[in-house]
Amino acid sequence: MATAIAHPNIALVKYWGKRDVDLNLPSTSSISVTLDSFQTQTTVRWDSPRDVAWVDGKPATPADAKKIFKHLDLITPGRPTARVITKSNFPVAAGLASSSSAFAALTIAAADAAGERFSPEELSCLARQGSGSACRSLWGGFVEWRRGLLNDGSDSHGLHLAPRDHWDLRIVVAIIDGGQKKMPSTKGMIHTMETSPMYQAWTLSSDRDVSEARHAIMERDLESLGQAMERSTLKMHATMMTADPPIRYWKSTSVWAMDAVEDLRRQGISAWWTMDAGPNVKILCEAEHAEHIAQRLRVLVDEVLVLKIGEGPQRVPDDEEALARFVVR
């Protein structure tokens, strides 16, 4: 048995599109920052007469259970039947990167429970196969996921760029809608690849954003990082919106929030927005400006949180109370 905690990550340069759908190999490299406070805690125990999973206190849906146990099969082929108890402390499937923390925590808990010793890069490759972005949640701070060239995906994993204390930034999260996203990311990516005339331009132009963002992180240059991030965000959403039929995750409030951030910028505050596969807006800024930005956004959005940069995953003692509550008879 084993329990692990992992934090979600937000892409600064985006991943949208796969060169191999089964192995979750991306068409482009990407860069992320790991979040503090938001987390998923997952326990894996081999003490169950059959495979059973609980997600956030409820029995997993058949679709979620299928994904969880397929992932356990990948990590420990020929495994015993298992009990999996997982909970996240933030809205799931709302474009807040919940699948990244979920598959990172599940990968580590399952490998530990099986007594398997993997390097962080090997764990990152395994997590990637559950959900692409999860391969970036194996480290805290700033992480790059290299696209890789090999067909088996063994060179497509996260690389640690800098730890959380490298740069004291904040991520202000405006939760415009905490509900489940209207199209899951894999489905959205495949549809975009198949139908958007912008897709090829996106893959060809992304490397420049990756190198600029990497350099900006190393130099602690927020303006260059912000520009690369907004550029990558807009290009990714342009491919989605020009798919046929289009996918639009933005809501009017998302655009108001972006306008507010750009107004603040004109007043001299270095603040930069991004969005993923949902309407929620995340703003990257210096620690000293975070509360001011959050106050401004609270005029438009009910729930606005200020998060720090988070650390990598941790192994933690089993949650005995949860284990006693979720028993298979």
Chain positions contacting ligand PMV, by CB under 6 A = 11, 14-16, 30, 97, 99, 131-133, 185-186, 276-277
Q: Which of residues 134 and 304 has its CB atom nearest to ligand PMV in the complex?
A: 134
Q: Which strand ranges, in their side-by-side order, compose the sheet holding 58-59?
A: 58-59, 52-55, 83-88, 40-45, 2-6, 314-316
Q: Which of residues 126 and 277 has its CB atom nearest to ligand PMV in the complex?
A: 277
Q: Which of residues 11 and 35 has its CB atom nearest to ligand PMV in the complex?
A: 11
Is residue 43 within 8 Å of residue 6, measured between CB atoms?
Answer: no
The C-alpha atoms of residue 211 and residue 216 are separated, in whole angstroms, by: 8
Tally the C-alpha atoms within 13 A of residue 286's C-alpha that lie toward its C-beta: 11
Give Cβ neighbours of residue 314 (< 8 Å, ≥ 6 apart): 4, 5
Q: Which of residues 14 and 83 has its CB atom nearest to ligand PMV in the complex?
A: 14
Minimum distance from CB of 80 to ligand PMV (Å)? 28
Minimum distance from CB of 202 to ligand PMV (Å)? 12
Q: Which of residues 132 and 279 has its CB atom nearest to ligand PMV in the complex?
A: 132
Minimum distance from CB of 132 to ligand PMV (Å)? 4
Minimum distance from CB of 307 to ligand PMV (Å)? 16
Burial 242-273 (b: 16+ CB within 10 A, else e): bbeeebebbeebbebbbebbeebbeeebebbb
> Parallel, antiparallel, or unpaired: how do β-strands 83-88 and 52-55 relate?
parallel
Minimum distance from CB of 319 to ligand PMV (Å)? 26
Q: Which of residues 81 and 186 has its CB atom nearest to ligand PMV in the complex?
A: 186
Minimum distance from CB of 10 to ligand PMV (Å)? 7
Q: Give which of 92, 120, 100 is closest to 30, Cα–Cα.
A: 100
The residue whose two tokens read 């598959």 is 103
> Parallel, antiparallel, or unpaired: how do β-strands 58-59 and 2-6 relate?
unpaired
